[in-house]
Amino acid sequence: MNLVKCENDSWLEATLYSRLGTIYMYRDIYSAALEMFKLGASIYATIPPCVERTITLRNIGRVNLLQHQSDSIFCYYDQALEVAMQLSDEEFLFSLSLLAGCSRQSVTVNPYSSLPVLDITADYPEREIRLGRRG
């Protein structure tokens, strides 16, 4: 961590915190995992959106789920989805949506596309994400 801080590379520092959070999460040390993930997320928030930020936010939600803290679960999953939408990576967005709580979304197949349609209008009537090839 000291070496990363000397390099003054925000993305690398945030990624290191996120990876440490993952290690703590897999060792069932949830308070340390949340601390690391939140440090990483706060640094990621200062740089342009990236996949790693989305994963870190999703992992904060996942740790809250493991700790049965339902008040925070969807807050972080929703933030992860928001960042993923900024990335314009439709396949990643779909896979994140499935991992991040498909219990809140419905997934249907669009007959004109090889990709499914992710319809989140049940929770967010003002927006719908259509995954499929443009053109």
DSSP assignment of 88-121, as one string? T-HHHHHHHHHHTTGGGSEEEE-TTSSSEEEE-T
> Which residue shows structure tokens 């928030």?
45
Of 67, 63, 68, the residue nearest 80 (C-alpha): 63
The yes-or-no verdict on residue 101 having pLDDT over 60 is no
State which amino acid sits at residue 78. D
pLDDT at 89: 67
Region 57-73 average pLDDT: 83
Look at residue 107 and tell me whether its pLDDT is greater than 90: no
**CA 101, CA 62: separation in Å to the nearest integer?**
9
Mean pLDDT of 20-46: 95
Residues 6+ apart with CB under 8 A from 107: 97, 98, 116, 117, 118, 119
Give this prediction's pTM: 0.69
Handedness of CA 108, 114, 115, 121 (dihedral sign): negative
Tokens of 36: 């690391």
Q: Exposed, middle or buried by CB within 10 Å (0-12, 13-18, 19+), for 2?
A: exposed
Residue 23 CA: distances (Å) to CA of 37, 43, 99, 116, 130: 11, 19, 19, 32, 34
Strand residues in the chain grouped as ranges (E): 106-109, 116-119
